[in-house]
Structure 1
Amino acid sequence: MASAPERPLLFLDVDGPLIPFGASYGPPQVPVPGPSAALDRGNPLLDRLDPGIGPRLMALDCRLVWATTWMRDANEAVAPRLGLPKLPLVEWPDTGADDGPRGLHWKTRPLVEWADGRPFIWADDEIGAMDHVWVAAQHPGPSLLHRVDPARGLVEADFCAFTDWLGALAAG
Structure 2
Amino acid sequence: MKPLVLVDIDGVLNPLGRPSADFRRYRCVLEGETYTVHLNPRHGIWLLELAVRAGAELVWATTWEHHANEWIAPRLGLPALPVIRVAQDRPSEVGEMFKTPHVAEYVRGRPFVWFDDLLFSADERYLRDHPDVGDFFLVQIDPKTGLTRQHFDLATEWLTLSGFSQGP
User: Shorter-chain TM-score: which interval?
Assistant: 0.7 to 0.9
The 5 Å alignment of 1:24-35 reads 24-27=19-22, 29=24
CA offsets per residue over residues 61-116 of structure 1, 9 Å max, x none?
211100001011100000001000000001135623x2412x21111111011000
Name the CA shift for 1:155/1:113 in 2 (closer, same or farther; >3 Å): same
Do the aligned partners of 2:88 and 2:99 also contact (CA within 8 Å) in 1?
Answer: no
The sequence identity of aligned pairs, in percent, is: 35
Q: Which residue of 2 aligns with 1:59?
A: 49
Q: Distance in 1 between matches of 2:103 and 2:115?
A: 11
What is the one-letter code of the residue matched to 1:26? A
Q: 2: distance between equivalents of 1:99 and 1:142?
A: 22
Q: 1:20 aligns with which of 15, 27, 32?
A: 15
Task: Return the match for 1:110 from 97, 102, 105.
Answer: 102
Structure 2 unmatched runs, 5+: none
Cross-structure match for 1:10: 5
CA distance in 1, matches of 2:133, 2:63: 26
Decide which of 39, 55, 60 is 1:49's aligned counterpart: 39
Using the TM superposition, give the Cα deviation of residue 18 of structure 1 relative to its aligned residue in structure 2, in angstroms. Answer: 0.3
- Displacement of 1:44 after TM fit? 2.2
Residue of structure 1 in register with 2:125 after alignment: 133
Matching residue of 2:111: 119
Q: CA RMSD in A?
A: 2.3
Distance 1:137 1:151, change over 3 A: same
1:156 aligns with 149
Structure 2 distance, partners of 1:143, 1:51, is 26
Point out the structure with the larger strand share.
Answer: 2
Q: Indicate the SS of the match to 2:41.
A: coil
Q: Which amino acid aligns with 1:54?
A: G
Q: How does 1:60-79 map to 2 (within 5 A)?
A: 60=50, 61=54, 62-79=56-73
Task: For 2:49, give the aligned amino acid.
Answer: A
TM-superposed CA distance for 1:145, in Å, is 1.2
Shift of 1:21: 1.1
TM-score scaled to structure 1, two decimals?
A: 0.82
Letter in 1 for 2:4: L
